Structure 1
Amino acid sequence: MSLNKMTVANRYARAMFELVDAQGQLDQTYEELTNLRQVFLDNPTLASLLSGVNLSLKEKESLLQVLKQDASQPVTNLIQMVFDYGRMDTLVAIINEFERRYDLKYKRVHADVVTAVQLDETRRNQLKANLAERLGANEVLLSEKVDPAIIGGVIVQTENQTMDGSIATQIEQVRRLLLN
């Protein structure tokens, strides 16, 4: 029976998280894994090359050595195990799941923010503080986008919540009320 990608990612990430947390290497491993994920995101064909038939085993192993270079033992073992089990196409999902667990432990929230104008440092910090308080987070990591079409205000989207305080939405709500 074949396991789906998310089940595999969850199992590997949980095992890795518990191991490095117990060894006191959680922050270091998180840093290494996010850097490794960036390598795969910057080279979208890498996972398929490592799991496909286009390269010889020797060529794949030389690529693996580059990936494992300067990596800690837990990360080296993870890369090797994922390769050995033919799951290189799942590595980014494993890292994403590891990050989700890391975020839960440290109460970190990722938020996509849309504003009509670029936020200055003061407003950005104020928004982070307000969101942290509202969401019960210790840290809020913002991904900002400017969209003049929202006229003003802010739209915030987290993993499971959307808060739309844009003027464009408020105008649309008033328009609907007037039409009904």
Structure 2
Amino acid sequence: MALAGRIRSSLPLVTKLLRTDAIAAAQRSTPQEALLRSTFANSEFSRNFATATGKKEEKTKVPLSMFGGTGNYASALYLSAVKANALDKVESELLVLVEASKKSPVFSQFIKDLSVPAEIRVAAINDICDQAKFSDITKNFLVILAGYGRLRFIESIAKRFAELTMAHKGELKAIVTSVIPLPPQEEKELQETLQEIIGQGKKVKLEQKIDPSIWGGLVVEFGQKVFDMSIKTRARQMERYLREPINIGNI
């Protein structure tokens, strides 16, 4: 909450920067591309990323294979955070930023607006990170995203980063969807059942979701498996069964 408050307190600067003369910023003697290359080259994140991808010094590996742009960013940040022993801190800082973007329309618009010059985005993120007292790894990472116009993907990156941290800790998230929250005893029994299915290699971490549209029952997702025990799905299966023609010869 304290970090979120610091981020919100810095939003007036974002508003001010958004009103800065974009043409004047674009006409500065230092090209934006040079600024971004300099920011990336001098950042701790960049140095760690380069080390992590070097053939001679590659020791740390991502626990899950990530694909796509957000997966690549999350993997690179993971490698940097592991080397600095700052996984939990980086994860919490990303979540704080995501929550701040959800609560502030101004900040949300700022990270999505590609018309804002890169220099302004970088300056704003630098100030926000300083105000929130973010770690250098998180700050440098966000600066890179700001410079290349990728801040709009921060929520997706944060989710994929969380998947990596869970895998690092030997945890497996199971998403349980129900019409109403599960009572504590039922939640405990379900977790124990899933733990038996998965085995002792990983620890199950339950996440509950509420969705009245399933009518009742449960939908459990973990790993690549989905157990759909919802009343809605059962009703549809029964409906399809009743619509199938009856083969009198088999009666």
Does the pair score TM above 0.5? yes
Specify every segment of 5 or more residues in structure 2 that has no aligned partner in the other structure, as ranges: 1-66, 245-251
Q: Does 1:41 align with 2:105?
A: no
Q: Does 1:90 align with 2:144?
A: no
Match of 2:178 in 1: 115
Q: Counterparts of 1:31-110 in structure 2 under 5 Å?
A: 31-43=92-104, 44-49=108-113, 51-53=114-116, 57=119, 61-62=123-124, 64-68=126-130, 69-110=132-173
Aligned-partner Cα distance in 1 for 2:83–2:222: 29
Match of 2:228 in 1: 164
Deviates more, 1:59-68 or 1:132-141: 59-68
Counterpart amino acid of 2:194?
Answer: L
Q: Does 1:138 align with 2:203?
A: yes
Alpha-carbon distance, 1:71 to partner: 0.2
Aligned-partner Cα distance in 2 for 1:30–1:99: 7
Aligned-partner Cα distance in 2 for 1:63–1:26: 21
Aligned-partner Cα distance in 2 for 1:148–1:7: 31
Q: Is the contact between residue 115 and residue 148 of structure 1 (CA under 8 Å) also seen in structure 2?
A: no
Give the aligned CA root-mean-square deviation in angstroms: 3.0
Aligned-partner Cα distance in 1 for 2:133–2:170: 29
Alpha-carbon distance, 1:159 to partner: 5.7
Aligned-partner Cα distance in 2 for 1:92–1:168: 31
Counterpart amino acid of 1:124?
Answer: E
Corresponding pairs, count: 172
Alpha-carbon distance, 1:171 to partner: 5.0
Rg (Cα) greater in structure:
2
- TM-score normalised per structure 1: 0.74
Q: Percent identity?
A: 19
Counterpart amino acid of 2:169?
Answer: Y
Q: Is the contact between residue 9 and residue 93 of structure 1 (CA under 8 Å) also seen in structure 2?
A: yes
Specify every segment of 5 or more residues in structure 1 that has no aligned partner in the other structure, as ranges: 1-5
When residues 19 and 143 of structure 1 are mapped into structure 2, their CA distance, relative to the original with a 3 A threshold, is same
Q: Is the contact between residue 221 and residue 227 of structure 2 (CA under 8 Å) also seen in structure 1?
A: yes
Q: Counterparts of 1:17-28 in structure 2 under 5 Å?
A: 17-28=78-89
Which of 215, 219, 225 aligns to 1:150? It is: 215
Counterpart amino acid of 2:112?
Answer: S
Q: Is the contact between residue 108 and residue 141 of structure 1 (CA under 8 Å) also seen in structure 2?
A: no
